[in-house]
Amino acid sequence: METKIFLNLAVKDLNKSIAFFTQLGFSFNPKFTNEKGTCLVIGKNINAMLLTEEFYQTFTNKQICNTATTSEVIISVSLEARDKVDEMMEKVIKAGGSEYMKTQDYGWMYHRTFLDLDGHHWEVFYMNESEIPEMS
């Protein structure tokens, strides 16, 4: 059996979240989609379940994170080229997301950070693994 990762994220407005990520170019798995949640396909074996806050709460006794003041997770997604990182950020801003931190360029890795409509922290990056400096 192939291992798959399903991140679970609480969202305030499922339809707005679907529209936001659709504008970024992501797709959804209809087998895992209803009025309570949807499955955002990030990669072949990586997905994010976007769940309404009410439905998300049925899976935990803990309080849902206030993303305005607390970091719950940083979701990092690699892209195939540096210009794709900038293109994704243009889509993020156009779709209503916000750039969160200053662009980082290490030569071998280039990344930018954004917050989605619910304040979840995402990074998109390009990394040339052949140019990673040796650790000393």
Number of domain units in the chain: 2
CATH of the domain at 3: 3.10.180.10
Looking at the fold, whether 82 and 30 belong to one and the same domain comes out as no
Residue 64 lies in a domain: no
For the segment 73-116, what is each residue's pLDDT rounded down to a tens digit?
Answer: 999 999 999 999 999 999 999 999 999 999 999 999 999 999 99
CA distance 13 to 52: 7
Among residues 59, 84, 108, the one where a domain terminates is 59
Task: Count H helices and E strands in the chain, helices first.
Answer: 3, 8
CA distance 113 to 125: 9
For the segment 52-75, what is each residue's pLDDT rounded down to a tens digit?
Answer: 999 999 999 999 999 999 999 999
Q: Which domain holds residue 92?
A: 71-136
Phi, psi of 44 (to 5 degrees): -55, -45
- Per-residue pLDDT band for 130 (boundaries 50, 70, 90) equals confident
Q: Check whether 135 has a pLDDT greater than 80.
A: no
Residue 66 lies in a domain: no
Looking at the fold, whether 80 and 136 belong to one and the same domain comes out as yes
Looking at the fold, whether 47 and 4 belong to one and the same domain comes out as yes
Looking at the fold, whether 98 and 50 belong to one and the same domain comes out as no
Looking at the fold, whether 89 and 111 belong to one and the same domain comes out as yes
Looking at the fold, whether 75 and 135 belong to one and the same domain comes out as yes
Name the helix (H) or strand (E) containing 70: none
Looking at the fold, whether 100 and 53 belong to one and the same domain comes out as no
Angle formed at CA 35 by CA 100 and CA 24, multiple of 5 degrees: 35
Q: Which two tokens stand for residue 20?
A: 């936001």
The verdict on pTM exceeding 0.85 is yes
Residue 90 lies in a domain: yes
